[in-house]
Amino acid sequence: MTILHWATLSPFLFALLIPMLYKYIKRIHTGWFVLIVPLVLFIYFLSFLPVTSSGGSVNQTLNWVPSLGINFNLYVDGLSLLFALLITGIGTLVVLYSIYYLSKGTEKLNNFYVYLMMFMGAMLGIVLSDNIIVIYVFWEVTSIASSLLISYWFYRKKSIDGAVKSMLITVFGGLSMLGGFSLLYVISGTFSIRELIANADMIAESSLFLPAMLLVLLGAFTKSAQFPFHIWLPDAMEAPTPVSAYLHSATMVKAGIYLVARLTPVFGGSAEWFWIISIAGTVTLFWGSISAVRQKDLKSLLAFSTISQLGLIMTLLGLGSAAFYYSDGMEDSLYTTAVLAAVFHLVNHATFKGSLFMTAGIVDHETGTRDIRKLGGLMTIMPITATVSLVGLASMAGLPPFNGFLSKELFLQATVNVVSFDFFNLETWGVLFPVFAFVASVLTFLYCIIMFAKAFTGKFKPENYDAHVHEAPWGMLISPVILGSLVIIFGLFPNILSSSIIEPAMAAIMPHTQGFDVKISHWHGWSSPALWMTIGVIVFGLGLYMLMNKWSQTSFYLKERDPLNQVYDNWYDGLVKGSQTVTRIQMTGLLRDYIAYMAIFIVMLLGYSMIRYDAFAIDTAHVSEVTPYMWLLVLAFTAATIAVPFINNRLTAVIVISVIGFLLSLFFVQFRAPDLALTQLLVETVTIILFMLVFQRLPKLKKEKSRPRFKLVNLIVSIGVGGIFTMIALSSFAFGSDVNYDSIAEYFIENSKELAGGYNMVNVILVDFRGLDTMLEILVLAIAALGVYTLIKLRLKGSEDV
Amino acid sequence: METVITILSGVLVSISTYMILSRSVIRIILGISIFSHGVHLLLLTMGGLKTGSVPLLGRGAESFTDALPQALILTSIVISFAVTALLLVLAYRVYQELGTDNVYDLRGFKDDL
């Protein structure tokens, strides 16, 4: 255990303390204690910056299950560090914000902070682990922690529904991902990401390459809310706002992005990877932005905008993977622009989306509503909140001088670059990327204006609010103000990030390409197509907003719920109904049906194997002769047996049964088994007495009143069972007599007298050679006797005694 | 003879399966006891029905029938007797408490049929 390991696990360890702190120190808000952890971790991770920015990395090993190759190895490079800083940095701000957001007296703070720490530790584990199984473990912990946090107000039905939905979708993806990881292990024999990257060629040639890739991507797409798995994210907005800001904008939803970026060196360079990720990202970008326009709830709007922005980053990662195809090309910058834009936008999105969620939370907290149809005119009442919102929204819309502008321009530039690519059929379809990017950017611009204009401008109507509306307390404003300042700082001085954060992260995503020289500038000259696209976005966006009165009456705008929820709901209801139907058909509660199922299954299984292996055989060589006396016995026996099902009289039944039993003992006599004959006679007699005793207390046997169809099925099943039974017996006798091995009967003949001193071989076997059987058989009898006694004597319901 | 006896035990199994699939508890118990007869016969047959002497030493016989299947069957007879006895008493008690010997009426829930 190194310091790095302790640091990664420290949120879990601290989570153990939280309930005690909550219980015994009631005076101080528990959040203040929790605040220490992310803050210290953030400072600790800052200390890695010099190492990674000079191209180095830190590798710490810790054995967990070495025999299976599962080790808790931590690896810090540019990409891990970027995420670790985001997690701890925004974590600090979110905890600070939550201290003012959640009140000390009414909320269960111990639960909240335990879940939050659990989440933070798991997230750190994902981004720092080198072992994919360990990543999977932490991955599922984030799913659990996220569901716990979504259902934090567990007495609300919508919270529970949202938690269940996010759990089902993300765990489905997580399990698929585990399958993908297992396939990667099958291909390469290692769980370590370092070694997977080193074996990338071997993986690319494997026939399991595509299944492994698809399964891993399923995990990444469900977690990062890519189309069509994005539907859980808007419903996750039932969580407290600090949770939405932290999990559902800045960290957890980026776990999928992290995974895609991390595994790009493994899968990148293949056309499938390029197309799947780019298309999924573009569709998500487009769908998220068009759905966001329709939202009336601030948090839903932000949720869909998060989906859209995640799609944007995903598209960029997909486009960037083209660099692997051309790893030694001269026009490196053309391909790497996309990765640069992805990493940069990742940072930018975390900053502005975090601040936007926090301001939305403030608006909710201070006015009591998040509905944009009720809000309005808050600018003068909440000037700081309005300013921070404006900065965040302008950045999200891609306006200068904020950081969103820079990454949006890089994004547009990257999509334009795609058009000039001449592989993966891009010469025909590549032109769609800039088109979709442009339309989605216009819509992004539109919903950003809508959100600001509806919430903060216009006339203030006091009658719309239950509460007295005023500016938030300063403590609540610290975090959004810090994030908003970062938006401006990164916007004005983007190059403070370039060599410290972005270049190492790019080097981690593209280990084969060396020597990035990232220079982000505001001004690319008039010839830059991205500039004209940005101008176009602003013009069209403003135009659409002007026309809002026209299209806001259409059903498109009025129906805000994502139509894909219908699919999910139908699937969910269908699953429940379907399994209920299956259970109703199958679990009838009837003994007859269950026996029939078993019999049919056995007959089919055995029949299939007998046909499949051509196993049926009759031995005629080794059989002994049948005497006429035996024929007579057999005939009588068969007749008595076949008569049994037709008997509808108790006494006749007992007599026929006893006839069968006594005939059986005659068989035993014929087969030279005197002890058996004796026992059979005795047992049969006692059984008959028992039957008589019990039958006189049971109702009369009636004719079975079953439907003919039932009887026919019964008949077929029983003939099938008997037939299979006979066939197997005949075959095994035939094959058994072919094989030449001696029976152990000789041993008993020789040794019964020698060793056991008895002449009766059967008895010697029973009490000497195999005495254990007999002992336990006696036990069975004793248990049966006790059972009978208990059944008769024990009356818990107090009815009459025998 | 082995073939004949094997087919005979197959008939026993068929009939007993048919009985076990019926509604009345009594028939089911009858079916189970016939089933054990079938299995006992088969056990003996699989050991080979070659005519040797009764498995008693000291009578100067040359060959004996196999004693081991006989010992196994003897154990089995006793066990199936114990089970049959318990089942019979159970059927009696079920009828006494619940007033029916029809397994269709003995279901825990009542809907169709």
Which of 19-58 (B) contact A at CB < 8 A? Answer: 19-28, 30, 33-34, 37-38, 40-42, 44-58
- What does the pLDDT profile of chain B (113 residues) look like in tens digits? 888 999 999 999 999 999 999 888 888 999 999 999 999 999 998 877 777 788 888 777 778 888 889 999 999 999 999 999 999 999 888 888 888 778 877 776 555 44
Q: 3-class DSSP state for residue B23?
A: coil
What is the rounded distance in angstroms from the CA atom of residue A507 to the CA atom of residue A518? Answer: 11
Structure tokens at A541: 């966006």
Q: 3-class DSSP state for residue A64?
A: strand
- A779 CB-contact burial (10 Å; exposed 0-12 / middle 13-18 / buried 19+): exposed
Identify any residues that bridge with A59 across adjacent strands, giving them in sequence order. A75
| Among candidate residues A276, A303, A272, A299, the one with its CA nearest the CA of residue A287 | A303
Higher-confidence position of B44 and A737 = B44
What is the rounded average pLDDT of the residues A743-772? 88
> In chain A, what residues touch B23 (CB-CB under 8 Å)?
592, 704, 706
What is the rounded average pLDDT of the residues A453-481? 81
How far B17 CA sits from the closest chain A CA (Å)? Answer: 5
Structure tokens at A116: 């939050």
**B81–A contact, CB cutoff 8 A:** yes
Nearest to B50 among A624, A683, A774 (CB): A624
What is the rounded distance in angstroms from the CA atom of residue A338 to the CA atom of residue A279? Answer: 15
Asked if the model's pLDDT at residue A801 lies above 60, the reply is: no
> In chain A, what residues touch B12 (CB-CB under 8 Å)?
641, 722
The strand pair at A63-65 and A70-71 is best described as antiparallel
What is the rounded distance in angstroms from the CA atom of residue A35 to the CA atom of residue A41? Answer: 10
Chain A interface test: which of B62, B74, B80, B110 (most A C-beta within 10 Å): B74
Nearest to A691 among B55, B88, B108 (CB): B88
Q: Which residue of B has its CA nearest to A627?
A: B1
pLDDT digits (tens, 9 = 90+) for A350-406: 999 999 999 999 888 888 888 888 888 888 888 888 899 999 999 998 887 888 888
| Among candidate residues B76, B51, B62, B1, the one with its CA nearest the CA of residue A746 | B62
How far B42 CA sits from the closest chain A CA (Å)? Answer: 8
C-alpha distances (whole Å) from B58 to each of A411, A755, B52 are: 102, 15, 14
Asked if the model's pLDDT at residue A799 lies above 70, the reply is: no
Contact A242, A361 (CB under 8 A): yes
**Whole-structure pTM value:** 0.82
- pLDDT value, residue A681: 94
Amino acid at A600: I
Q: What are phi and psi of A70, to 5 degrees?
A: -105, 110
Rg (alpha carbons) of chain B, rounded to whole number: 19
How far A621 CA sits from the closest chain B CA (Å)? Answer: 11
The kind and range of the H/E element at A59 are strand A58-60
Q: Which residue of A has its CA nearest to B90?
A: A791
The kind and range of the H/E element at A71 are strand A70-71
Amino acid at A42: F
Q: What are phi and psi of A259, to 5 degrees?
A: -65, -45
Asked if the model's pLDDT at residue A329 lies above 60, the reply is: no
Q: Estimate the share of chain A in helix, then strand, then coil, as percent rounded to the nearest 5.
A: 75, 0, 25
Q: What are phi and psi of A612, to 5 degrees?
A: -60, -40
Contact A338, A414 (CB under 8 A): yes
pLDDT digits (tens, 9 = 90+) for A345-366: 999 999 999 999 999 998 888 8
- pLDDT value, residue B112: 45
- pLDDT value, residue A332: 60
What is the rounded distance in angstroms from the CA atom of residue B18 to the CA atom of residue A671? Answer: 28
What is the rounded distance in angstroms from the CA atom of residue A35 to the CA atom of residue A29? Answer: 11
pLDDT digits (tens, 9 = 90+) for A508-533: 888 776 666 666 666 666 667 778 88
Q: Would the CB atoms of A680 and B18 count as touching at under 8 Å? A: no
Asked if the model's pLDDT at residue A797 lies above 70, the reply is: no
Q: What angle do CA A268, A273, A275 make, to 5 degrees?
A: 130
Chain B interface test: which of A616, A683, A730 (most B C-beta within 10 Å): A683
> In chain B, what residues touch A686 (CB-CB under 8 Å)?
81
Q: 3-class DSSP state for residue A701?
A: coil
What is the 8-class DSSP label of residue A700?
P
Nearest to B37 among A622, A664, A721 (CB): A664
What is the rounded average pLDDT of the residues A327-337? 62
Asked if the model's pLDDT at residue A784 lies above 90, the reply is: yes
Structure tokens at A357: 């969620």
What is the rounded distance in angstroms from the CA atom of residue A719 to the CA atom of residue B13? Answer: 9
Q: What is the ipTM of this complex?
A: 0.93
Structure tokens at A499: 């060599």
Residue A453: count other Cβ atoms within 10 Å of its Cβ. Answer: 15
Q: What angle do CA A44, A50, A55 make, to 5 degrees?
A: 125
How far A575 CA sits from the closest chain B CA (Å)? Answer: 23
- pLDDT value, residue A330: 47
Structure tokens at A334: 């053309």
Contact B42, B6 (CB under 8 A): yes
Structure tokens at A679: 């026992």
Amino acid at A362: I
pLDDT digits (tens, 9 = 90+) for A149-161: 999 999 999 999 9
Establish how many alpha carbons lie within 13 A of residue A642's alpha carbon, considering only the half-sphere containing its beta carbon.
Answer: 10
Q: Where are the alpha helices (DSSP H) in A189-297?
A: 193-198, 200-205, 209-223, 232-235, 241-245, 255-267, 271-294
> In chain A, what residues touch B16 (CB-CB under 8 Å)?
718
What is the rounded distance in angstroms from the CA atom of residue A485 to the CA atom of residue B55? Answer: 102
Contact A386, A379 (CB under 8 A): yes
Most confident of the ranges A420-424, A594-598, A702-706, A711-715: A594-598
| Among candidate residues A430, A247, A266, the one with its CA nearest the CA of residue A338 | A430
Q: 3-class DSSP state for residue A76?
A: strand
Q: 3-class DSSP state for residue B53?
A: strand
Asked if the model's pLDDT at residue A547 lies above 90, the reply is: no
Q: What angle do CA A732, A735, A738 make, to 5 degrees?
A: 145
pLDDT digits (tens, 9 = 90+) for A173-229: 999 999 999 999 999 888 999 888 888 888 888 888 899 999 999 999 999 999 889
Contact B65, B50 (CB under 8 A): yes
Q: Would the CB atoms of B74 and A675 count as touching at under 8 Å? A: yes
What is the rounded distance in angstroms from the CA atom of residue A266 to the CA atom of residue A509? Answer: 10
Establish how many alpha carbons lie within 13 A of residue A139's alpha carbon, considering only the half-sphere containing its beta carbon.
Answer: 29
Q: What is the DSSP string of A225-245?
A: T-TTGGGHHHHGGGS-HHHHH
Calculate the average pLDDT of chain A.
86
- pLDDT value, residue A696: 82
> In chain A, what residues touch B39 (CB-CB under 8 Å)?
none
Percent with pLDDT over 90 in chain A:
39
pLDDT digits (tens, 9 = 90+) for A482-518: 999 999 888 888 888 887 888 888 888 887 766 666 6
Structure tokens at A17: 């303390």
Dihedral sign of CA atoms A751, A752, A753, A756 in order: positive
Across the A:B interface, residue pairs with CB atoms under 8 Å apart total: 267
Asked if the model's pLDDT at residue A321 lies above 60, the reply is: yes
Most confident of the ranges A467-471, A696-700, B84-88: B84-88
Q: Where are the alpha helices (DSSP H) in A47-156?
A: 49-53, 78-101, 109-128, 132-150
How far A714 CA sits from the closest chain B CA (Å)? Answer: 6
What is the rounded distance in angstroms from the CA atom of residue A672 to the CA atom of residue A138? Answer: 71
- pLDDT value, residue A372: 84
Asked if the model's pLDDT at residue A408 lies above 90, the reply is: no
- pLDDT value, residue B104: 79
Contact A143, A171 (CB under 8 A): yes
Nearest to A726 among B10, B27, B51 (CB): B10
Residue A683: count other Cβ atoms within 10 Å of its Cβ. Answer: 20
Q: Would the CB atoms of B95 and A699 count as touching at under 8 Å? A: yes
Q: 3-class DSSP state for residue A192?
A: strand
> In chain B, what residues touch A753 (CB-CB under 8 Å)?
57-58
Q: Would the CB atoms of A704 and B57 count as touching at under 8 Å? A: no
> In chain A, what residues touch B62 (CB-CB under 8 Å)?
none
What is the rounded distance in angstroms from the CA atom of residue B30 to the CA atom of residue A530? Answer: 89
C-alpha distances (whole Å) from A479 to each of A98, A123, A351, B36 are: 10, 21, 10, 80
Nearest to B85 among A619, A642, A788 (CB): A788
> In chain B, what residues touch A699 (CB-CB under 8 Å)?
95, 101
What is the rounded distance in angstroms from the CA atom of residue A184 to the CA atom of residue A262? Answer: 14
C-alpha distances (whole Å) from A167 to each of A15, A145, A150, A237, A453 are: 22, 10, 10, 14, 35
Contact A165, A230 (CB under 8 A): no
